[in-house]
Amino acid sequence: MRITVIGAANIDIITKSKSKVIPADSNPADVRLSAGGVALNIAAMLARHGAKVDLITAIGKDPFGSLLRKSCNDIGINTEAWIVKSNTSTGVYLAALENNGELYAAFNAMTAPESIRTGEITKHKSIIREADLLILDLNLTEKILNTAIEQRDRRLVMVDAVSVAKVPRIKNLLSKIDILKLNRMEAERLTGIKLDTKERVKQACYHIVNQGVKRVFITLGMAGACAAAKSNAIFVPALPTKVKDVTGAGDAFSAGVALHFSEDLRTQAEFGVALATEHMERNI
């Protein structure tokens, strides 16, 4: 299985409070610095599960960029198509977690992937076209998303929505997407539907499918996930777990779905939930 992933690679700086966070105060915490970014996280999980992975991303010409490349090379991700920018910095994601592992606040600076130009994508069209599956994250601009999709010549395309703020980037591209993964808030932004009941979750799924997406997956936190295609929608419950760190759980879900892209809807959703659960059980 060969998968190409295009999107963000950045340094994650994750802090986890040792007690309940007190706003506007200095809170004792544990801190972790590691390779991250939605595209990189998905690529890393795919590689660890045996897939051949090409990652296309942009980094700055700086120590953080060198650290990211080494991290990817160490686990077998092909980084030959990386775009090095001398006039911008490698992306950084900063997350503050409560002592129970839940996200308190997060910030990101993703100018590198957003600076990718059309020619820098078409230059690597063979890597994009020959993959069994192309995965895109919404740290890319709408223009670059469309350019990458055009290189596929109607082959499978999967998109991870990344964040509420970036969801509008795919509103005009839904008919070109085969698999779309969102969380509850991202799905609400895309559809305008408040997902406060199971029926409304299903309504949102069908709304997205009717725009042309072949399969949609909406993660619902401790309520599990909903998966839908044109003919049906199903719910997959969350697995019992002691959450230690939610950072990257959505990326793990996407990797689980991608690893089973050729299988049925339920199998994809169940593996997504299983991989996300495994990820959340890790300590900071």
Strand 233-236 vs strand 225-228: parallel, antiparallel, or unpaired? antiparallel
> Count of domains in the chain?
1
State yes or no: pLDDT of 284 exceeds 60.
no
CA gap 91, 139 in Å, rounded: 11
Percentage of the chain with pLDDT > 90? 87
Contact predicate 140/115, CB 8 Å: no
CA gap 269, 42 in Å, rounded: 16
pLDDT value of position 101: 85
Closest CA relative to residue 38, chosen from 230, 175, 183: 183
Which amino acid is present at 251?
D
Residue range 134-146: mean pLDDT, rounded: 97
pLDDT value of position 31: 95
State yes or no: pLDDT of 243 exceeds 70.
no
pLDDT value of position 278: 87
Confidence of residue 244 (pLDDT cuts 50, 70, 90): low
Percentage of the chain with pLDDT > 70? 96
DSSP state of 78: B
Lowest average pLDDT, out of 46-50, 140-144, 277-281, goes to 277-281
Q: Per residue in 206-223, pLDDT tens?
A: 999 999 999 999 999 889
Considering Cα of 214, then 218, then 219, then 220, what sign does the dihedral take? Answer: negative
Other beta carbons less than 10 A from residue 135's beta carbon: 29
Lowest average pLDDT, out of 73-77, 151-155, 197-201, 257-261, goes to 151-155
91-105 burial by CB neighbour count: b if 16+ within 10 A, else e?
bbbebbbbbebeebe
pLDDT value of position 248: 76
Strand 157-160 vs strand 133-137: parallel, antiparallel, or unpaired? parallel
- How far CA 83 is from CA of 28, 47, 57, 80, 106, in Å, comes to 38, 20, 6, 9, 26
What's the mean per-residue pLDDT of the chain?
Answer: 94
Contact predicate 79/59, CB 8 Å: no
CA gap 215, 261 in Å, rounded: 10
pLDDT value of position 154: 84
CA gap 47, 53 in Å, rounded: 6
CA gap 135, 113 in Å, rounded: 14
For tokens 């690893």, name the residue: 259
Per-residue tokens: 237: 């419950």
- How far CA 236 is from CA of 201, 239, 260, in Å, comes to 13, 9, 16
Residue range 41-66: mean pLDDT, rounded: 96
State yes or no: pLDDT of 270 exceeds 90.
yes
Instruction: Tell me the residue range of the domain where 249 lies.
Output: 2-280
Which domain CATH number covers 46?
3.40.1190.20
Q: Taking the CA atoms of the chain, what radius of gyration do you get in angstroms?
A: 18
SS3 of residue 105 by DSSP: strand
pLDDT value of position 98: 93
